[in-house]
Chain A
Amino acid sequence: MKYLLINGNPYHDHDEIDRYVIRLAAGLESAGNEVRVLVLRDMKIRPCTGCFHCWVKDPGTCIIEDDGREVSRQYIASDHVILASPLVMGFLSATLKNAMDRNIPLVHPHLEAIDKEVHHKKRYENYPVVSFLLEKEPFTDAEDIAIVTDLFRREAINVRSSLGFVKFIDTPVDEVQNALDVH
């Protein structure tokens, strides 16, 4: 299996989730998987400007020449992508959300119906499963978790992926790894 771990922790001085990602990557690697780790805060990724160049001018390619393209390239080449982020004001960090917005070149502009809702057609044949690894804020409650889990399920459908798991870094690493073996 090809795993891509995308670390969207924006903080340099708050590294619990970084250490978790490193341990998970090492565990997956020693189990014989191909693993790549991207640390977004060390990359240059400008926000999407909504120009749709990637759909109507140069189909499949974002006009912005920065590391955002590389994230998309590695995303689509993976079997399973794990997005890691602390919750910041109750949602994924802006650092991670900006990188995810830049993934729309991976789908086609045409619409089609999926489960009685309109979504985009696939551009590629295969899309990875997407899972989320999160760190709670002091005030995170069950309602926050329900809100983000629903949003993640929808985001996965929208990029024609499916949702793997949503877990927090208070889960032991081997438990997360076992969950991955299942998917």
Chain B
Amino acid sequence: MRLMFINGSPRGTQSNTGRLMGHFIRGFLQTEGNTCDMEYLTKNRRSLADLAEKFAAAQTVIIGFPLYVDAMPGSVKAFLEKLQPYVGRSDNPALGFVIQCGFPETSHNRYVERYCEKFSRRMGCRYLGAILKGGCEGLDIQPTFLTDKYYQYYNLLGLEFGKTGAFDAAILEKLARPEHLTSENMAQVIPFINQALWDAQLEANGVLDKSFNKPFGS
């Protein structure tokens, strides 16, 4: 199988999207004969129409992006708009998505997932589904027993996808945990993230006391 992976993170090569999908692609390439073309939207910003042409010529495409204000980043939307000329073509590629977000619960990604599914139908692309995961900002501060588990799931998803051309529903479901947080989970997780992720960076930059700055007045 020949896969085209489009990394839509505005952080490009230094993204959580790329880091997680690296594990997927490693698994995917274990099946002999599989190949993967990697594209970055950050590198194609000025030539989105050319990338759209490559999309249209591909067999199988996965588009990855971080959740930005509950949907795709504006720069990813700009690329989706460039696919307009190919709407409804009979030989459009099969299309899947990989979406991850900062908030700890995966549920935040479910709304844009519906959009992605409808988008694929509109394009006339066979929809492969979406790999969704919450809690992906600050992978470095999370305990490695957790992150190793995520990486292993992405790897297994890639391995299965490389063999069958489908996302394994049981792994998707495991990866998506926790879908929601209980009040007890929140009482633990929220102070941890606020301190270990945000206050630590604010402090390192010497601006912890300015974190509530209001540059546009009060």
**Cβ-based interface call for B75 (8 A):** yes
Instruction: Give, as a whole number of angstroms, the nearest-CB distance from B201 to chain A.
Output: 4
Instruction: Give, as a whole number of angstroms, the nearest-CB distance from A140 to chain B.
Output: 10
Contact of B11 among A50, A56, A116, A118 (CB under 8 A): A50
Contact, CB under 8 Å: A118 / B181: yes
**Cβ-based interface call for A20 (8 A):** no
Contact, CB under 8 Å: A94 / B70: no
**Cβ-based interface call for B180 (8 A):** yes
**Cβ-based interface call for B171 (8 A):** no
**Cβ-based interface call for B71 (8 A):** yes
For B70, list chain A residues within 8 Å (CB): 151, 154-155, 158
**Cβ-based interface call for A48 (8 A):** yes
A70-103 contacts to B, CB under 8 A, are: 72-73, 76-77, 88-101, 103
B71-128 contacts to A, CB under 8 A, are: 71-75, 77-78, 80-81, 83-84, 103-105, 107-108, 111-112, 114-115, 118-119, 122
Main secondary structure of the interface of A (DSSP, over half): mixed
Question: Which of A27-35, A104-112, A165-173, A175-183 is the interface stretch?
Answer: A104-112
CA distance A89 to B15 in the complex (A): 26
Contact, CB under 8 Å: B69 / A123: no
> Which residues of A are interface residues toward B (Cβ below 8 A)?
47-50, 52, 55-61, 72-73, 76-77, 88-101, 103-105, 108-113, 116-119, 123-125, 139, 143-144, 147-148, 150-151, 154-155, 158-159
